[in-house]
A and B are shown apart, each in its own frame.
Chain A
Amino acid sequence: MAKVKSLEELMKIKEKSLKDLQMRDTEKKGKIVVAMGTCGIAAGAKDTLQAIVSELAENKIDDLSVVQSGCMGLCEVEPTVEVHMEGQSPIIYGHVTPEQAKRIVQQHILGGKVVSDLMVRKGEI
Chain B
Amino acid sequence: MPHPDLQFIDRGGPLKGVRVVELTKVWAGPYAGKMLAHLGAEVIKIESMSNLDEMRAYGGVDINSAPYFLSINQEILSVQVNMKTAEGLDLVKRMIGEADILIDNIRPGAMERSGLDYESLKSIKPDLIQCSIKMWGTDGPLGYQTGYAPCFAALSGLTALVGHEGETPKGMNIRYGDSTVGACAALACVAALHHRETTGEGQFIDLSAVETMTSLVGDSLFAWSVTGEMPESDGNFHPEMCPHGAYPCQGTDWTSIAVANEEEWLALCKVLEAPALAADPRFATLADRLANRHALDAELGALTRPHDAVALSEKLRNAGVPAFKSMSSIDLCTDGFLWAREAYRMVSDHKAGTRPIIGPSWRMSPDPAQIERGAPLLGEHNAYVYRELLGLQEDEMDDLMARKVID
Asked whether A and B interact, the reply is no
